[in-house]
Amino acid sequence: MASALCRRWQLHTPLIQAPMAGGATTPTLVASVSQAGGLGFLAAALLPPERLLSEAAVVRRLTDKPFGINLFVQEDPAPSREALEQALEWLAPLHRELGLPAPQIPERFCEPFARQFEALLEAKPAVASFTFGILNRNQLKLLKQAKIDVIGTATNMAEGLAWAELGADAICAQGREAGGHRGTFIGRPQDSLRPTLSLVYELAQNQPLPVIAAGGIMHGRDIAAAMRHGAQACQLGTAFLRCPESGISALWKSELAKAAPGGTRLTRAFSGRHARGLSNRYMELMADKEDLVPAYPVMNALTGPLRAAAAKAELSDFLSLWAGENVAAGRELPAGQLVATLHEEWLAAYR
């Protein structure tokens, strides 16, 4: 039942552990998944180039199996002074509530993509994936020359066609259920919320690249369903968040363990880009402003100190607790065991 993608990336199970920026995808998690026969993925979008290289080196020390590295395709933003000041004004009362100094404009809003991209070429993982945007032809050529396979994230048909036209190797179809940020870069995120299976089917039918299903996949039978809809592999994020190897805080893990069905929602308020996470007080407080806050990565940088302070105070009210719609089906298992369990469940779904 191995797909062409599985053979290419030496996967025993058609399973990719989603890159998850913000600490979850530690080198140990990535290596454990690859070692167990899935494809581990380092999230490097928030890492300075040197950290990208050092984390990739740690993964290599732990496993000789293929793994991937993920980046956000982004440009340095140039927000207006008024937009920044307005956002700081909205955040000020929350800072006061946590006993923090007034919010400030940070020195920079994100890591420089061009330098991260150079580090990625140097790290030379088997696979690289991208979200939030699309590469240019020269960047794709450089990845091909380095023999790094390219996965482009698509949340709608137009984005899938754009990656296919560019010459990527696979498309990650990110359905509505997915935890974390929406990858949308053509059209509005609100209009790109097809359920995973239907998006996978449409992309698999209408463009030539292999499709990877992402969003709401928590059990082996979900993998089987996605494969029946035309996927060649599945990318699971939320399912790995509670693994002991995942680097998120104990508080985030315990909130995930308590989550009920329907406990997530999309918000733009934390980062300026739509993302799915556990509903909390910050989302409610900012609900009427979320469409007005500056776009990613600016708002993400502005809320950084608030989120860091909330993490320190173990206060989930102000944390971005990213999680997918099917979070309630999550399990707390070591990563290798989770991969093996998903593999067994996937096979059982065909019996």
Ligand X SMILES: Cc1cc2nc3c(=O)[nH]c(=O)nc-3n(C[C@H](O)[C@H](O)[C@H](O)COP(=O)(O)O)c2cc1C
The one among 26, 156, 174, 271 contacting ligand X by CB under 6 A: 174
244 alpha carbon, distance to own chain's centre: 19
- Does the protein bind ligand X through residue 153 (CB under 6 A)? yes
- Does the protein bind ligand X through residue 18 (CB under 6 A)? yes
- Does the protein bind ligand X through residue 237 (CB under 6 A)? yes
CB 46 → ligand X: shortest distance, Å?
A: 8
Return d(Cα 281, Cα 287) in angstroms, integer: 10
The one among 15, 21, 135, 311 contacting ligand X by CB under 6 A: 21
Return d(Cα 11, Cα 236) in angstroms, integer: 15
CB 81 → ligand X: shortest distance, Å?
A: 29
Q: Would you say 32 and 340 are in contact if contact means Cβ atoms under 8 Å apart?
A: no
The one among 34, 155, 235, 264 contacting ligand X by CB under 6 A: 235
Sign of CA dihedral 333, 200, 207, 342: positive
CB 57 → ligand X: shortest distance, Å?
A: 20
Q: Would you say 299 and 200 are in contact if contact means Cβ atoms under 8 Å apart?
A: no
Q: Which is nearer to ligand X, 32 or 184 (CB)?
A: 184
Residue 51, CA distances (Å) to 42, 47, 294, 316, 328 in order: 11, 6, 27, 27, 33
The one among 324, 330, 335, 339 contacting ligand X by CB under 6 A: 324
End-to-end Cα, the chain, rounded Å: 13
Give the interface size with ligand X as a residue count (CB under 6 A).
30
CB 23 → ligand X: shortest distance, Å?
A: 9
Binding mask 102-141 for ligand X (x = CB under 6 A): ---------------------------x-x----------
Q: Which value, to the nearest 10 degrees, does the dihedral of the CA atoms of residues 312, 265, 158, 79 take?
A: -50
The one among 6, 11, 15, 24 contacting ligand X by CB under 6 A: 24
Residue 273: exposed, middle, or buried by beta-carbon count in 10 A (0-12, 13-18, 19+)?
buried
Q: Which is nearer to ligand X, 19 or 272 (CB)?
A: 19
In the DSSP assignment, the letter for residue 226 is H
CB 169 → ligand X: shortest distance, Å?
A: 15
* Nearest CA among 156, 152, 151, 150 for reference residue 186: 156
Residue 101: exposed, middle, or buried by beta-carbon count in 10 A (0-12, 13-18, 19+)?
exposed
- Does the protein bind ligand X through residue 160 (CB under 6 A)? no
Options 156-164, 232-240, 255-263, 336-344: segment touching ligand X (CB under 6 A): 232-240
- Does the protein bind ligand X through residue 280 (CB under 6 A)? no
Residues 6+ apart with CB under 8 A from 169: 127, 149, 150, 151, 209, 210
Residues 6+ apart with CB under 8 A from 245: 26, 28, 29, 32, 334, 335
- Does the protein bind ligand X through residue 283 (CB under 6 A)? no
- Does the protein bind ligand X through residue 216 (CB under 6 A)? yes
- Does the protein bind ligand X through residue 193 (CB under 6 A)? no
- Does the protein bind ligand X through residue 271 (CB under 6 A)? no
The one among 111, 159, 177, 245 contacting ligand X by CB under 6 A: 177
Structure tokens that stand for 157 in this block: 């048909």
Binding mask 43-72 for ligand X (x = CB under 6 A): x-x------------------------x--
Structure tokens that stand for 163 in this block: 């990656």
- Does the protein bind ligand X through residue 246 (CB under 6 A)? no
| Binding interface with ligand X (CB under 6 A) | 18-22, 24, 43, 45, 70, 129, 131, 153, 174, 177-180, 214-217, 235-239, 322-324, 326
